[in-house]
Amino acid sequence: MKNNRIRKILFLRPPRHYWPILNEADNFLLPLAYPSISAYVKREIPEIEFTILDCCAHRMGWTSLRKYINEGNFNMVCIGEKVCFCNESNRAFKLIKEINPTITTVAGGQFYSHVVEDSLRNNKCIDYIIRFEGEIPLTHLINTLNKNENIFNVPNLAFIRANTLHLNPIAELIDMTNLPIPSYENSFLDKYQAFGKLWPKAVTIQRSRGCTNNCSYCSWISQESYISEENNKLTRKSTFRSKTVSQVLNEIDLLYNKYNIRYLFWVDASWNYDNGWLNEFCDELLKRKYNLGWWAFIRLDLIPEQHTSGLLEKMVKVGLRHILSGADRPEADGLKTLSKLNQNYSKVKEAIYIFKKYYPQVFRQCTFITGLPEDKAEDIRAVLDYAHDIDVDFAAFHTITPFPGTPLYEEAKKSGLLMDSDYTNYDMFYPVMRTKYLSQQEVAYWTIWCQSNFVQKKPFRYFSRFFSPYPIRRKLHWWFAYSITKVMITQLWNHARGIERFKGFAGVNKLWKPKWYDH
């Protein structure tokens, strides 16, 4: 394939729909992969010019995007998107080639890394797919194209030549200590600051990649951990890598002092892993006396020891305000099905109790999984009892979703329980699997029943927290109540006008189309 010299590159997040229980700004946080990859490539190839365009943050619809690309003179466009938004990224690739067929198009991220051949064959507008981590492969690809060298030497690259799929060897995982500060200067951070409700003035940040666990449903591990390949068959191994404390502090200093950021959204799979690193980090951050808050995915099984040692107190003191963790299931068999072997009911309950008693200023949020292969109606109802018993502030009940590249995906296909091949439905709300005893519709019904009854069965507990003395917990309870009410009223209004059928609480899970989407 003939390529123009690569000089000007666009990282693009196309227009997409959003989850209505959050406002638009909370749905559209900075896609950190773009500034991370562009900073690395810029360091290695200084003459390259990068632009990061998040259409969602800019409120730029498809008509405006066409004009932007037409006037941008880009030589390469890179897109990575979540599984359920793959149609939008595929639409964007087709738009790019329609405008200028000479633009080199590169797909990446978790979806394209694992749906390689179908993506390349069904969308001829994708020139290359970079599988898994992107920093080193994209640098190689740009140099290779510019020097007209052998494309078969670019690691992690997938492409089709003469109707044959080629999968180049996979590179070693990148050394996190060799990563530069993400190019926040090219990320239009002001577009993310002004609107946030759930994470006010929040910016994404990362200290580690991979995880120490090997849960069968986790797309993090399928993208960030050690991957090997033999005879086109992938195997994975849980791997945890971290930046140094000084690296992360340099990023926070920049965000806090230059960009006036006061809330961080950690995108690590297991933020509270490695007590030595955390102690050093908290000690150094305490010296700065910053007024910071942050949101983090945490491992609950580590919390009791971190509380006893005093580390958890330091984490809360320097900014931990909102935790999210996968409580998942109450029963041992369910956790075994998910390969979540480090956790059990008592550990989860103890950890949540510690936050409730000793750190009430921290908002406690957990996710729960329904629709496992052995689930009957009573098993799903028991998940709600579990959520009530451990006493979280907000529970999110998700149907089990076998993302491509996870062991769960292969198991679901082999068992015959996977019923849906439309990836736009892989949003963790719409059941794409049945169980041995329940249909997809029954799984959906009981999952919605759990979500709606989380408040209805414990109304005093929930509404009493409207008056919490701790700002973030008080505001978030009001915000969730307001958002759900807004969805219900909108549904009723649309139902009265004959636009859609009223779905009750199920309507909370339907993605909304932004007003600017087509403009």
Indicate the CATH number for domain 199-472.
3.80.30.20
| Selection from 418, 423, 416 nearest residue 433 by Cα | 418
DSSP states of 32-77: THHHHHHHHHHHHSTT-EEEEEEHHHHT--HHHHHHHHHHH--SEE
Least confident of 261-265, 294-298, 354-358, 491-495: 491-495
Do the two domains 8-167 and 199-472 of this chain adopt the same fold? no
Q: How far is 213 from 216, CA to CA, in rounded Å?
A: 9
| Selection from 153, 156, 152, 184 nearest residue 170 by Cα | 156
CATH superfamily of 8-167: Response regulator (3.40.50.2300)
pLDDT of residue 194: 46
DSSP states of 423-482: GGG-SSSS--B--SS--HHHHHHHHHHHHHHHHHTSHHHHHHGGG-SSHHHHHHHHHHHH
pLDDT of residue 16: 93
Q: Other C-beta atoms within 10 Å of 494: how many?
A: 14
Domain range annotation of the chain? 8-167, 199-472
**In this predicted model, what pLDDT tens digit does every residue of 490-513 receive, in sequence order?**
878 887 888 887 777 667 777 889
Contact (CB, 8 A) for 436 and 373: yes
Q: How far is 280 from 244, CA to CA, in rounded Å?
A: 10
Least confident of 152-156, 170-174, 495-499: 495-499
- Residues recorded for the chain: 519
What percentage of the chain has pLDDT greater than the value 90? 78
- Cα dihedral across residues 471, 473, 478, 480: positive or negative: positive
Structure token pair of residue 275? 């007590």
Q: How far is 476 from 192, CA to CA, in rounded Å?
A: 19
pLDDT of residue 199: 62
What percentage of the chain has pLDDT greater than the value 70? 96
pLDDT of residue 26: 67
Q: Report the chain's C-alpha Rg in angstroms.
A: 23
> Does 380 score more than 50 pLDDT?
yes
pLDDT of residue 18: 85
Structure token pair of residue 514? 């932004």
pLDDT of residue 198: 60
> Does 116 score more than 50 pLDDT?
yes
User: Over the chain, what is the mean pLDDT?
Assistant: 92
Q: How far is 185 from 206, CA to CA, in rounded Å?
A: 17
Q: How far is 350 from 331, CA to CA, in rounded Å?
A: 16
pLDDT of residue 23: 65
Which residue would you say has higher pLDDT here, 60 or 2? 60
**Residue tagged 């169980």 (tokens):** 435
> Does 31 score more than 90 pLDDT?
yes
Element holding 399 (H helix, E strand): strand 394-399
**In this predicted model, what pLDDT tens digit does every residue of 184-217 receive, in sequence order?**
999 999 888 644 666 667 899 999 999 888 899 9
**In this predicted model, what pLDDT tens digit does every residue of 334-367 receive, in sequence order?**
999 999 989 999 999 999 999 999 999 999 999 9
**Residue tagged 């290779």 (tokens):** 144
For residues 242-258, average pLDDT: 98
**In this predicted model, what pLDDT tens digit does every residue of 69-96 receive, in sequence order?**
999 999 999 999 899 999 999 999 999 9
Residue 77: φ, ψ to 5°: -125, 130
Structure token pair of residue 478? 């009001």
